[in-house]
Chains A and B, each alone.
Chain A
Amino acid sequence: MGYEGIGASVRRREDLRFLSGRGIYTDDINRPHQAYAVIVRSPHAHARIRGIDASAARSAPGVIAVFTGADMAAEKIGGLPCGWQVKNKDGTPMAEPPHPVLAVGKVRHVGDPVAVVVAETKPQARDAAERIVIDWEVLPAAATIQAALQPGAPSVHDDVPGNVCFDWHLGDKTAVDAAFARAHKVARLELSNNRLIPNAMEPRCAVGEYDPATGDYTLWTTSQNPHVIRLLMGAFVLNIPEHKLRVVAPDVGGGFGSKIHHYAEEAIVTWAAGKLKRPVKWTADRTESFMSDAHGRDHVTEAELALDDEGRFLALRVRTLANLGAYLSTFAPCVPTYLYATLLAGVYTTPAIYAEVKAVFTNTVPVDAYRGAGRPEATFLIERLVDIAALEMGMDRVEIRRRNFIPKDAFPYQTPVALQYDSGDYHRTLDEALKAAKWDTFEQRRAEAARRGKLRGIGISTYIEACGIAPSAVVGSLGARAGLYEVANIRVNPTGSITVFTGTHSHGQGHETTFAQLIADRFGVPMSQVEIVHGDTAKVPFGMGTYGSRSLAVGGSAIVRASDKIIAKAKRIAAHLLEASVEDIEFKNGMFRVAGTDRAKSFAEVSLAAYVPHNYPIEELEPGLEETAFYDPKNFTFPAGCHICEVEIDPETGEVEVVNFTAVDDVGRVINPMIVEGQVQGGVAQGIGQALFETCVYDEAGQLLSGSMMDYTMPRADDVPYIQVGTAVTLCTHNPLGVKGCGEVGAIGAPPAVIGAVVDALRDYGVRHIDMPATSHKIWRILDAGRQRLAAE
């Protein structure tokens, strides 16, 4: 066993299980006497349900039951709740139309669940589902933000006229207007941030079970936050008290945010299991995933940056229209507001910022958090705008950034958009990235590429993001309907092995390794003595789950706090055993020692004494060695960094190849460098995916044109170059580990670097900006127009 503590690149312990096919995913769970649910979904983007005739389905072979929205409404089943309330500019609350589990009266997007068939086998359920006859009155649809805001547009919800969910703002309008009035130059940009479909490797799945003997319900589900699902589904949808509802999220094959939200199918299988007194399983096929997993991004934005004559940013004005889809998904309202506009200062000293965000309902799949959630949208906007400002000013892209960076001695730094950054050194991540990417010699590479007939460009982004959204009191005042602390329970077993119960959830992040390293570090025990348990409300006391790169910053901090409590108690036991005073006991490398002596007890000996309290300070201390901590952070954490991308464009076809990518990130203290690198690599791949390939396309009628892998372009291995990853650390000042977070930096930092490189490669074609994805088709059109212009001149 080599060093396993903080800073060691320990191999991920969970990977053996995953790579050898021994993971237990929700679809691997099969309960005795289990029945299968198939959901009947709307083929229309917008339609009234005049009637549902399920008689032929009910009498089909193997069918146990068919349920519709009316059946659920008759039993007073609630709608899917929204976990965040945003207020309008005038202080009134956002429109919050009902989100029925199964559609009632009307469907609002292709894929909207209408009925469920439960049968003995899945093929039988599918056969029967085809026999359901629905009398539709097809209505005109509002499939895009622009269509939904047209005068006379169809109303997605009859009681939300104009389709505006909320019209919100942040910042100081007066100060911004004043700054613009005295600006030397103004950089302007209109852009759209393309809508993405998450596509985790594992499709969603849910198995519901009811035990008639005890009245207990169990739901196994592909979730990033089982306790949140228990809370939302139990309290708001099915009226099952929490002590009668267990939610298990076993191994989960990727989430990227799409498995945060409480989905209809979870409620359907749990409710149906109770009604039918049989376990009920539903597994999405990939086609269903495309039309029922919450999508991401989808903004249309106009922005202006005011500059003084030296290129200093004076003020930023932003108007964003955000697509929420047909219903409010669990955390949808906070994504284009508190996770977006609050980040608009970026890493810059822009003194005045004013952002307006109008959130719009459309006849499309609900939109919610997706890797980065709001921060990629903010970063893309700022970094593109800064590039355009450099063009306007005739300044170098690096120089204009440096000139406006928040200096490293200015922390804590209060931005004009609510956040207070605790630490960072943006010059350092920039310098290290420039060096690693050989920025200075780029022109040689450009010239060499030109000799090969290729257009080469380089792009840069210096981003910041916010992780571990907190503290609870603050997010509560901003509209969150939940706390955002995290929970750890540490159980030291009698022989000194340690079981850690964490309220975070690992679905690819490697917590079983990172958290075990933390414990090994704290307690001086080998990792083999540590078990990390997550994803089961019957085992873990409570937790808010994993998203927003919060697990280490918040969940890891809770583990540290619980560890401190264990060590404090163990020291008292050791003091008793060693007949010393507790102040004299040192704990190091797994040994409790009387300072300055060789008298010592091992961690295992002290653990055993706690459980076999024969010689024990029983008057002062309870036996046992188990502690719980709830950790509510004082602030967000603020990872930041610099990403540099080089591309080559084939001028004949418009194809873009990413040839170099360098990321230097400040993710705070690094516990496991290999895992951090893996997270950055994966995030950058997703960022490249957004920048060059992925986009969700609806036609005017609201049909999903990019509804399968045949038409939705995911990045593939050969689209992603070797990514050079480095870290340049400043510590978070307010959590005990000094950690910040690394799960989303790649997806946040990469897109503007890639697009910046594409625009740079096309600099001779008069291009200032290209919306994502920069497909070969789009680039060919630019090249073709440029060539025609040249020919005409």
Chain B
Amino acid sequence: MYEFAYHRPASVAEAVKLLAADPEAKLISGGMSLIPVLKQRLARPSALIDLGAIPDLVGISVSATTVTVKGRTTHAAVAASAEVRRAIPALAELASHIGDAQVRNRGTIGGSIAHNDPTADYPSAVLALGATVHTSRRTIAADDFFTGLFTTALEPDEIVTAVEFPIPDKAAYVKFPNPASRYAMVGVFVAKGPMGVRVAVTGAGAKGVFRHAAMEEALAKSWSPEALEGITTPAENLTTDIHASREYRAHLIGVMAKRAVAKAG
């Protein structure tokens, strides 16, 4: 790690002010993605602005139609929430399979989607459920939020304060973990409800999380695993690495999607 200054603001407004004042500063939430980068000296922020002392950024609230998870809520809290389990079991289930217990106890939803690692799990839920991202200055629709590898629509001094998920009729997430890292090598989130029928794929896209139009169309006609029979995913836009070729990823998308639909019921 290089040296950095450390701030611990007590409100979102104060955090935004600190962030706006120093373009080299970085927010730190759970630190599960940022700290490894700092330890390897791959980033050199002038200051860390710790969101950990802002009480207003933690919590889950469920209404008749939405589940809202505040930005600094941990994966463990989402996984353990009885209300989330009732309203969107797929979301709680997804959170329960992120990393390991230590990572889930530190890592947060805001950090995960702001980081937008192409192999992270949450982005698929945000996209497939048609969630709305609340920030310190506006709301951003899921379809506009994820813009590419490790990039989002967030402005440099913008903070994710909450993610609001519409409650679907049916939803499920099935992940094929990378054998080494256990991030998603392919993860497919399917949902049906007020957001329409949506299928989001993580882990596989060369540009990060993406929606699968052909699968959405087929499932809109008939919500069943069989409806996905014969639907393929062009391999050109997928990632290839030492763990899986793009062809294998394309194949796994089909398998995971069918399993997700079956699981969603």
What residues of chain A have their CB less than 8 Å away from a CB belonging to chain B?
A: 123, 126-127, 130, 287, 652-653, 693, 697, 705-706, 709-714, 775-777, 780-781, 784
Contact = CB atoms under 8 A, between A and B. Distances in A.
Contacts of A714: 180
A711 B242 CA distance: 8
Contacts of A776: 179
B255 A713 contact: no
A780 B181 contact: no
4 closest Cβ pairs, A-B complex: A713-B180, A710-B181, A713-B179, A652-B255
Interface in B216-265: 242-245, 248, 251-252, 255
A520 B62 CA distance: 65
Contacts of A123: 1
Contacts of B242: 697, 705-706, 711
Given A705-B242, A711-B181, A712-B180, 12 more contacts: A123-B1, A126-B41, A653-B252, A653-B255, A710-B181, A714-B180, A776-B179, A777-B244, A777-B245, A777-B248, A781-B248, A784-B251
Contacts of B179: 693, 713, 775-776
Given A123-B1, A653-B255, A777-B243, A709 B180 contact: yes
Interface residues of B, number: 16
A628 to B, nearest CB: 48
B41 to A, nearest CB: 7
Contact of B180 (A653, A711, A781): A711
A287 B40 contact: yes
Q: Which of A123, A127, A653, A777 has the most CB of B within 10 A?
A: A777
A714 B179 CA distance: 9
A781 B246 CA distance: 12
7 contacts: A127-B2, A653-B255, A693-B179, A693-B180, A713-B179, A713-B180, A775-B243
A123 B41 CA distance: 11
Interface of B: 1-2, 40-41, 176, 179-181, 242-245, 248, 251-252, 255
A711 B251 contact: no
A710 B180 contact: yes
Nearest to A710: B181
A780 B255 CA distance: 12
A287 B39 CA distance: 11
Nearest to A706: B242
A776 B245 CA distance: 11
Q: Which of A126, A287, A697, A776 has the most CB of B within 10 A?
A: A776
Contacts of B244: 777
A360 to B, nearest CB: 23
B201 to A, nearest CB: 15
Nearest to A697: B242
A773 to B, nearest CB: 9
Contacts of A710: 180-181
A287 B252 CA distance: 31
Contacts of A697: 242
A62 to B, nearest CB: 13
B176 A711 contact: no
Q: Which of A693, A705, A709, A713 has the most CB of B within 10 A?
A: A713
A652 B186 CA distance: 14
Contacts of A712: 180
B140 to A, nearest CB: 29
Contacts of B243: 711, 775, 777
A775 B179 CA distance: 9
A101 to B, nearest CB: 25
Contacts of B245: 777
Q: Which of B41, B176, B180, B244 has the most CB of A within 10 A?
A: B180
Q: Which of A653, A709, A781, A784 has the most CB of B within 10 A?
A: A653
Contacts of A711: 180-181, 242-243
Nearest to A127: B2
Given A709-B181, A711-B180, A780 B41 contact: no
A74 to B, nearest CB: 31
A123 B39 CA distance: 11
A291 B1 CA distance: 20
Contacts of B255: 652-653
Contacts of B248: 777, 780-781
A293 B255 CA distance: 39
A636 B133 CA distance: 68
A780 B176 CA distance: 14
B248 to A, nearest CB: 5
B40 A653 contact: no
Nearest to A711: B180
Contacts of A287: 40
Contact of A780 (B2, B40, B251): B251
Contacts of B1: 123
A123 B38 CA distance: 13
Q: Which of B2, B176, B248 has the most CB of A within 10 A?
A: B248
Nearest to B249: A777
